[in-house]
Amino acid sequence: MWSREIFNQLRLSSHRDSTFSTYTSARLVKDNIESCELIYELAEGYANKRHMLKGRVHAVNIKKTSKEKKIAVIGSGIAGCILAYKLAQRGHKVDVYEQNDEICLGASGNGILITYPRLSAFDSPYARFCLHSFLYASSFYDRLKTDAWHKSGVFIMNHDDSSLKRQNSLLNARPDKTLFEELNLEEASERAGIKLNHGGIFFEKGGFIETKALCQDLLSHSNINLILSSKIEKIKTDIDNHRIFVKEEVYEYKEVCLCTGHASEDLLDLPGLSPKRGQISYVDSSKDFENLKFPICASGYFSPKVQGSHVLGSSYSDVENDIVLEDEHADNKNKLKAIHDFKVKILDGKVGFRAVTKDRMPLIGINKGIYVNIGHGSRGSTSSPLCAEIIADLIDGRPLPADHEVVIALDANRFN
């Protein structure tokens, strides 16, 4: 247990007055303590143990804050904007590059993104990541105190046999109401403000973000410089720094973070990642459902009225172009049937490409010296805050906010 890695993390987590003690005084433990620049002394042990160890950090080794760095974040979707904000908050100077002349025109350009988890009744790194990233996202958006976060709650419907089975196993695994509560059809309809077709479970901490407005808030941090209409064509990495190539100019950075969604393969070879088209439909509001209070998710989803219309999502197809298709509107309407029976009028649509990995976990970490924050699939608003914190901690050499198995499961090199 008392490995070098643990002592190293202890040192990184310590302040000047931190102390530690351990029951063991084995040679290996002492060696690991010394090699991590901690100091120890022998003390009288408990019970039949002759000695134990007590220790502390060399005061000179305490890092007050990590050194301010010049960092490039490529991509201004939800993943790039949250990461830029976190780095800026820690004192780094961040340039955000976006190839388009506006932010959030990629997968994050949907108007709203619904923030909710895909939970499992069984423990696995994937399940832990889904749970922790959801809780983290909800409190991250709370702390921003922005009008672009609507903490309305999210209702997940049990609309067929498999969703019912899944919800029953979740309810058995977590009978408390800390994360979610079961609502029958009447309760769900009353809480939602419209007549629904099935019961399900309600996540109080869920909600939805108005993505562009939220990203604008994040990018207004004084340490962030947004550079639009600048497609990064190449990144060259040396031992000490990185050069990025844009419009025949070359700029140097201490660190580069790739947040380019499905378009990432142009800059870095990342196996295991593929684009998946999705189309949402903007639905005219009607007195039948204008009072809907929170998003309803079944095989598709239906949102409350935001900026005059409701968002009905979403298709999942292999079509490669970004033209809004009637077929995919029809697909969305079909999914809506499970949610409610009201007639809807579609006003318009929007197509995006999700960056999907083979195992549905994002690619987070370092690949060839570049920080990678992509592959957020269908859950970018839920996964991006925790992933940004992981990348920021990797850059600052701080202990990571996720357990080792989760970090390995997210590793940006796992399909190489």
Q: Determine, following the binding rule CB under 6 A, whether residue 294 of this chain makes contact with ligand FAD.
A: no
Number of chain positions touching ligand FAD (CB under 6 A): 42
What is the SS3 assignment for 278? Answer: strand
Q: Which of 381, 392, 402, 406 binds ligand FAD (CB under 6 A)?
A: 381
> 103: which residues sit within 8 A by CB, 6+ positions away?
76, 77, 81, 212, 215, 216, 219, 226, 228
Q: Determine, following the binding rule CB under 6 A, whether residue 125 of this chain makes contact with ligand FAD.
A: no
Q: Which of 10, 11, 40, 80 binds ligand FAD (CB under 6 A)?
A: 80
Stretch of residues binding ligand FAD (CB under 6 A), selected from 20-28, 138-146, 338-346, 373-381: 373-381
Q: Determine, following the binding rule CB under 6 A, whether residue 304 of this chain makes contact with ligand FAD.
A: no
Q: Which helix (H) or strand (E) covers residue 2, if one does? A: none
Query: DSSP characters for 320-331?
Result: -S----HHHHHH
CB of 302 to ligand FAD, least distance (A): 11
Q: Determine, following the binding rule CB under 6 A, whether residue 344 of this chain makes contact with ligand FAD.
A: no
Q: Determine, following the binding rule CB under 6 A, whether residue 210 of this chain makes contact with ligand FAD.
A: no
Ramachandran area for residue 397 (φ above 0: left; ψ -120 to 50: alpha; else beta): left
Long-range contacts, stretch 316-325, CB < 8 angstroms, 24+ apart:
316/276, 316/277, 316/278, 317/276, 317/277, 317/278, 317/279, 318/276, 318/277, 319/277, 320/277, 322/277, 322/351, 322/352, 322/353, 323/351, 324/279, 324/348, 324/349, 324/350, 324/351, 325/279, 325/349
Q: Which of 55, 106, 153, 365 binds ligand FAD (CB under 6 A)?
A: 106
Q: 2: exposed, middle or buried (C-beta count within 10 Å: 0-12, 13-18, 19+)? A: middle
Q: Which of 38, 114, 218, 226 binds ligand FAD (CB under 6 A)?
A: 114
- As a whole number of angstroms, the distance between CA 339 and CA 298 comes to 7
CB of 251 to ligand FAD, least distance (A): 13
Q: Determine, following the binding rule CB under 6 A, whether residue 130 of this chain makes contact with ligand FAD.
A: no
Residues numbered 232-271 forming contacts with ligand FAD, rule: CB under 6 A = 232, 259-261, 263, 266-267
Q: Determine, following the binding rule CB under 6 A, whether residue 231 of this chain makes contact with ligand FAD.
A: yes
Q: Determine, following the binding rule CB under 6 A, whether residue 95 of this chain makes contact with ligand FAD.
A: no
Q: Which is nearer to ligand FAD, 33 or 78 (CB)?
A: 78
CB of 244 to ligand FAD, least distance (A): 9
Residues of this chain that interact with ligand FAD (CB under 6 A) are 74-80, 97-100, 105-108, 110, 113-115, 231-232, 259-261, 263, 266-267, 278-280, 313-314, 352, 354, 374, 376-382
